Amino acid sequence: MSERPVSGETSERPVGYRIQLDGLRAIAVTCTVIHHWIPDVIFWKTWFPFGVAGVRLFFVLSGFLITNILLDQRFAIETGLQDRASSLRHFFLRRVLRLVPAFYLLLLVGAAFDLGALRETLLWHLPYLSNLGMILDGRWLPGITHLWSLAVEEQFYIAWAVMMLWLPRSAIVPSILFAIVLAPLFRTTGVLLGWADMTIAFNPISCLDTLGFGALLAVLWRTDIHPTLGFQRERFLRICLSIGLPVLVATILGQKFIGEEFRRNVCLPIQETALAMVFVWLVARATIGFGGPVGAFLANGLVVRLGVMSYAVYLFHPVVAIVVVRWLAVGWTYWPKVALSAFLTLALAWLSWEFIEGPARRYGRRFAYIAGRG
């Protein structure tokens, strides 16, 4: 068996790069910005759960891409191309270099200027425990509440890396399925016990269905974990879409026309699972490549660029809005404030990519992944 290429040495883009996935990242971050910046009085805003959908699309993408990377490393370990310690070290070093510099810059600047209660909650954010700190605190903190999802992703990376590299091969798919089922059961239990929405939603267990569906797609895309599962991929995707889409539509209509009780008792337990089922189909199709107008949109240069910068846009946009409202646009009407916030967010995201994230990512390629077989 010949050695596989090292991804960082073969091209500027990682092996397996699919341009339309960056288009999906652009959609995901746009949904979160709409959720935070567009008021509910705009009628179409209330017809779709933009905030929930944006974050869950990111989760499905993360589950898919991270699991694929880890399974590549597992293949390299099993074939003697790399030892387990090196694989784990390289994985975490690259995650740290990709995510931490811009995140810590936000924390430093936010704490210095006391933006969004960052100063008083800083010790929760530094170790990526923002979600647990917010659960214990119980407050929705303007400008920094969105950091809960970044904390969940980091916690997922740690647990998932250990699972994917150490679990017996036969336990990988059952473990992913268990995670997918556990999440809605956990949310349902939280609703029945009367837990606060934040306590339910910000717990990493609640996010395991969206992360898990992405992980399951990664397994279904491969032949080295379970050779026969790949043949079931199209059937799996059809089932996901045929179940997930009607359930999603039903939860949206129920919340719109029945109200808060339906949102709490029905949407909170199952809507995220429905979104995961729809999004896993979407991610699979984008990985293959949509044709026609959808494919052209997802591969459009500006859309892809937004997707590439989506991490910084997600990270900075709520804090930028605070700065605009507090200092830069005092007395302005609402929409000019939004326009200025959008301009500054995109400018900061570009600067972050060019001078922080991009250089850190290039440096991270020194800690090369071994490209396994897909």
CA distance 5 to 2: 9
pLDDT in tens, 83-116: 999 999 999 999 999 999 999 999 999 999 988 8
Q: What is the mean pLDDT of the chain?
A: 92
Whether 2 shows a pLDDT value over 80: the answer reads no
Ordered alpha helix ranges (H), the chain: 7-10, 19-37, 50-78, 84-112, 118-125, 130-137, 147-166, 169-192, 197-201, 208-220, 233-257, 260-262, 268-288, 292-298, 301-308, 310-323, 334-352, 358-364
pLDDT in tens, 26-60: 999 999 999 999 998 888 898 999 999 999 999 99
Whether 80 shows a pLDDT value over 80: the answer reads yes
What's the mean pLDDT in 312-326?
A: 96
Q: What pLDDT shows up at residue 14?
A: 37
- pLDDT band of 371, cuts 50, 70, 90: low
Whether 195 shows a pLDDT value over 60: the answer reads yes
Whether 65 shows a pLDDT value over 50: the answer reads yes
**pTM for the predicted model, two decimal places:** 0.93
